[in-house]
Structures are given as C-alpha cells and as structure tokens.
C-alpha cells in the first residue's frame, strides 16, 4: 500500500498547528512526518499519519480543508548525485515533482525518499526500469511502519519524524 500524505492550510497564527495536532492526538492518530511552511497569511501543512483513512474525515469534520496524495517511495544510494539522477529521469519524461520528503536513513548506504508526482504510474515504470524503484519499497514502509519506527530512528537520520 502506498504511503499517503495529507495536506491542509492553516492560518499563520499561534496555536493553529497545536489545535490541529491536538485534534489528531485526541483521536489516537499518530504523526510519522510533518512539514509546515509559511507563505503569507497561511501555512501549508503536509503530514504522514498512521491511519490516513480515519484522519481525513476527522479533520474534515473539524473544519479543515484537506487533500491527499499518494507518495512514490524509491531507494537511493546515500551519496551526492543519487537524487539528481532520479529527478533528471522524471524531468526528461516530463513528470512534474510536487513535493519530496527524505523519509528514513537505512543502514548507512540507502535512504528512502517519498516523491509526490503528477503521474505516479508512469513515474513508477520509469524508475523501476532504471533500477531506482523497488517494487516492495512501499510495502516495506507504510504509514504505520513510520510511526512504529520513529522511536528507534537514529538521531543522524534525515527527515523529521515525530
């Protein structure tokens, strides 16, 4: 099952993020990853949670406008230029990358990177054909796996995991 990212906008004011996170916590929804960027009077929030199917209606009922998108997970060598090769292949195929999150550092030689693209099926094929996409990557790490692994992830890991 692919990793699902939930996105919403919040007013850029003290307590807005805390209120949303509190609402999720009260309903036993765990955050595995979250990114918050401020632009003008609004903040964009992107998050991976352990149960997106349950989180979506909870957030909507609380008045949040939310969208989801599927994240494509690839394995990369943990060295300069690895990500560039994937991005170049997607660009050459005219596939636009909407977002990118480095998820977890693995065994010192590989990292998992989640990509949000406008053509996931084509991107998977291109990256599979070039050896970057591992068919089991998205089943290896799911939303629940991210939450379960968070306390064990070493501090040198790339990304923000809560």
- pLDDT tens digits for range 63-98: 999 999 888 877 778 778 888 998 999 999 999 988
Helix (H) or strand (E) holding 43: strand 42-49
Architecture of domain 71-152: 2-Layer Sandwich (3.30)
Question: What's the DSSP call for residue 12?
Answer: S
Cα separation of 101 and 114, whole Å? 5
pLDDT band of 36, cuts 50, 70, 90: confident
95-130 tens-digit pLDDT: 998 888 766 544 455 666 667 677 888 888 888 888
> Domain spans of the chain?
3-69, 71-152
Q: What is the CATH number of domain 3-69?
A: 3.30.2130.10
């Amino acid at each position: 099952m692919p990793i699902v990212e939930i996105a919403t906008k919040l007013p850029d004011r003290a307590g807005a993020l805390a209120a949303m996170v509190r609402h999720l916590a009260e309903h036993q929804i765990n955050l595995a990853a979250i990114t918050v960027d401020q632009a003008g009077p609004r903040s964009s929030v992107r998050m991976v949670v352990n149960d997106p199917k349950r989180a979506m209606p909870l957030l909507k009922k609380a008045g949040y406008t939310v969208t989801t998108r599927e994240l494509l997970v690839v394995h990369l060598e943990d060295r300069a230029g690895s990500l560039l090769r994937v991005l170049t292949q997607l660009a050459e195929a005219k596939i636009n990358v909407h977002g990118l999150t480095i998820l977890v550092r693995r065994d010192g030689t590989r990292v998992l990177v989640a990509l949000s693209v406008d053509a996931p099926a084509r991107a998977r094929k291109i990256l599979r054909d070039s050896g970057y996409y591992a068919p089991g990557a998205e089943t290896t790490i799911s939303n629940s796996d991210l939450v379960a692994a968070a306390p064990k992830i070493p501090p040198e890991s790339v990304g923000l995991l809560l």
